[in-house]
Chain A
């Protein structure tokens, strides 16, 4: 491996200057996938046209034709994104061998930017999970330590980038599914403001919480990828018309005029010491760089997990109704329509998905709607208000991403509620619709990565990239890539 340990920006320069061919980079990616995928299980479907597309880019560069900012950069696409003509399953059996006739807007935009899609990445079924243990294709291993989860739901995306099979990947973040695996795998991962990125063509889990975002190995790469997928899409009514700045070019790690809030509720005595150590060190470094650190309060955070699991499951129960075995996907034939539904869905969905459909169906049922779904919506508003109040006092918030570092495979799968509570630091961001980024903060004594989370107000991604860049430049992290890669 020669080029894939570098950043997208560096490799891009090589490709665009003609110093190295895109085809060579893609070949390196293919080799790297061959080398690691059997063990990590990150890719679940491989593209068969990657090399051809790379050669096309090379031809264009040779002819001095204009190419996109990500020209020739090998990336992976989470299996939640529809890819025209390429199997798309959300890692669920219910999809069967579904091949969409259309691509998600994100996939189209990456393609337009010249990125080379190497294939589809493993995840928890329908993005429901925090460990990538709930997939029809089996679990994903953490490249940093065998037998540990890579996080979820975008576990395949994180593992593929951490093991340098690709230089970047897409993820979706409904309750932390980008930030938590980024933290577990030592990567930069951002969940942008709700509405920044079109949801068109992304398998819906919880529509009011879902946002797509990128994984990369550096802050600038992450910004560059987000730039190419952001912006209004007429096919998504909830996408924003807010202008998309050139985040990567504008990154400024000078924090002299930046105030960073430290929410006291996130640093309780119960906080895992390894996590506390990493986040407090990051705060120390930021202070040293001239940032003002201020204590703020997000008192409604304690409700975030129950509110999240009511809203997300309610929306999911409706979003997943279309998987009925009628028009596509898995079907168990029956003469009775109700029987066809029951059998097809009974077989097609995994246990975690069924649990969430049941929960959401209950929360929306007549007689329970007010007490659960409606109440959850009201508390969601309180959580947003907390953030709005906090952002009157600071430009960004710093806090942990996860309650612990990556845990062992199988360790928590039997206790869903415990698993759900791992999302305590990530779900408030989704509920408030604000952007959040996870940046590498350091390693535990066991050599597992720990992430630091930064949160800003709506559409203030630049602030996140600036602070994240300062951390990337100034935090002493002994290793930025797992061994044996």
Chain B
């Protein structure tokens, strides 16, 4: 038996922190980085008699996300209490939505191996965050700044079949959240969190295997790695004749392992019941429709627009529109350079490669879009050659300086002066009699060699078109 005989079943629970100024149930600020327990009040610290009041903006964001995820928005939804004791859960319960969530039955399309796959979304419900416990030796300190910060939990159907699909799905959801301005999508800072439900079964089996829930995953790379590890662990266990235990497992990224946090037997009975402090949440159809009408352009639409407006292939358009920041970047470069195709090429090849190598987001790019556009313009107006441009680009990426300054300083402006180029060509032909003879004897392939030698001699500054023209004239002319 081998791994190939199994398939994995994955479902994701994405917790997105909604970008509101104030908390879910009180007026405290959600500002990150405030002093310990600075953003608190009787409500979010669970003081006696304090009562929650729903933040309308959080509901609006949730409806927006629900619509973008093609969900049904329920006109009536219920806030429930999820009861459990934890020191950073001040009320002893979390206000969440349980049996009647705000958003249900949606989907997101992802592209896997160039094919579209539709991933179902079971529900998206609103809830409040807990505080933070900080451990200092034998003491634990509680910071309630995060307590009652609004979250939207987006639960997928178990439609994902591989770690790659899971990561793709998470990226797609994140892109939508960011496009909507509903969440900043920062996994590292915890404003977006991802729990993965994973099980395996032998191919062809209809029933799902026992699942485990993976927590503590704070990057897309770790989504793939954690699920990958867990799939192998589960298959190994089954192969060894052991049963999978339904449990929650934590992912340790330094060890690249998952380990058991609590099993189902130890699991809490959350005793959900409708929160009597809050009336059912009513979202009028007219309100939902006005939110729908004001939805911004989403990744899927933008991709289609890029294909038609800029004549980009679907693949390029897809890559460029996945992240709002990248798509915005592209649009600036495109507009400033007036060359959609070159803009796409430079971003897709040079820029994304460099960003990946230096582990940076588009927002952290040392080259701003106007600089990149300027570089493209320098090529198009033949100030520099494409080859030189690559060096200039590397310099720009390293130093953050604009291309014109670099070109000027290095003196790498393209030389199109035919007299000068002819001098170089003559020198190259004179210096390579054997090759010249072979070429003239019919070895056409050697032409590239002459181009290379000429360019080298010019220090890369010669205009390649002019070099070609003069080389042909000189080589063929004397034949």
Contacts and interface: CB of A to CB of B under 8 A. Distances in A.
A97 to B, nearest CB: 14
Given A98-B48, A207-B276, A322 B92 contact: yes
A318 interface: yes
A149 interface: no
B261 interface: no
A314 interface: yes
Contact of B48 (A88, A207, A341, A365): A88
B422 to A, nearest CB: 85
B48 A321 contact: no
Nearest to A311: B276
Contact of B42 (A102, A204, A237, A361): A102
B54 interface: yes
A321 B85 contact: yes
Nearest to B42: A102
A90 B48 contact: yes
Residue of A199, A207, A327 with highest tally of chain B CB at under 10 A: A327
Contacts of A328: 47
A203 interface: yes
B366 interface: no
Given A207-B276, A318-B273, A234 B48 contact: no
Contacts of B51: 199-200, 235-238
Contact of B50 (A88, A200, A315): A200
Contacts of B83: 317-318, 321, 364
B46 A104 contact: no
A78 to B, nearest CB: 12
Residue of A90, A203, A321, A365 with highest tally of chain B CB at under 10 A: A321
A201 B85 contact: no
Interface string B87-121: 10011110000000000000000000000000000
B97 to A, nearest CB: 15
A81 B50 CA distance: 11
A82 B92 contact: no
Interface residues of B, number: 30
Residue of A102, A199, A202, A369 with highest tally of chain B CB at under 10 A: A102
A327 B45 contact: yes
Interface in A94-146: 95, 98, 100-102, 104
A88 B49 CA distance: 11
B319 interface: no
B269 interface: yes
Given A101-B42, A237-B54, A324-B85, A208 B276 contact: yes
A268 interface: no
B5 interface: no
B53 A234 contact: yes
A322 B44 CA distance: 11
A471 to B, nearest CB: 34
A257 interface: no
Contacts of B278: 237-238
B418 interface: no
> Dominant SS at the A interface?
loop
A373 B53 CA distance: 25
B279 interface: yes
B247 to A, nearest CB: 18
B49 A200 contact: yes
A373 B273 contact: yes
A203 B92 contact: no
A96 to B, nearest CB: 12
A365 B271 contact: yes
A322 B46 contact: yes
B386 interface: no
A327 B46 contact: yes
Contact of B271 (A100, A318, A320): A318
Interface in A334-356: 335, 337-338, 341
A201 B277 CA distance: 13
B81 A318 contact: yes
A199 B278 CA distance: 12
A237 B43 CA distance: 13
Nearest to B45: A327
A314 B276 CA distance: 11
Contacts of B48: 82, 88, 90, 95, 98, 100, 201, 203-204, 322
Contacts of B428: none
Contacts of B269: 365-366
B209 interface: no
Nearest to A360: B271
A485 B47 CA distance: 39
A318 B92 contact: yes
B138 interface: yes
Contacts of B279: 237-238
A1 interface: no
B87 A369 contact: no
Contacts of A365: 269, 271
A202 B277 contact: no
B142 interface: yes
Contact of A322 (B52, B90, B142): B90
Interface string A135-169: 00000000000000000000000000000000000
A364 B138 contact: no
Given A207-B276, A314-B273, A82 B85 contact: no
Interface of B: 42, 45-54, 81, 83, 85, 87, 90-93, 138, 140, 142, 269, 271-273, 276-279
29 contacts: A88-B48, A95-B48, A101-B42, A200-B49, A200-B50, A200-B51, A201-B48, A201-B50, A203-B49, A204-B48, A206-B276, A208-B276, A235-B51, A237-B54, A238-B51, A238-B278, A315-B276, A317-B271, A318-B273, A320-B92, A321-B83, A321-B93, A324-B87, A326-B142, A327-B47, A327-B142, A364-B272, A369-B271, A373-B273
Interface of A: 81-82, 88, 90, 95, 98, 100-102, 104, 199-204, 206-208, 234-238, 314-315, 317-318, 320-322, 324, 326-328, 335, 337-338, 341, 361, 364-366, 369, 373
Given A88-B48, A200-B49, A236-B51, 17 more contacts: A98-B48, A100-B48, A101-B47, A201-B50, A207-B276, A235-B51, A237-B54, A238-B277, A238-B278, A317-B83, A318-B83, A321-B85, A326-B90, A327-B46, A364-B83, A364-B271, A366-B271
Which 8 residue pairs spanning A and B have beta carbons closest together?
A: A321-B92, A207-B276, A208-B276, A364-B271, A201-B49, A322-B46, A203-B48, A202-B49
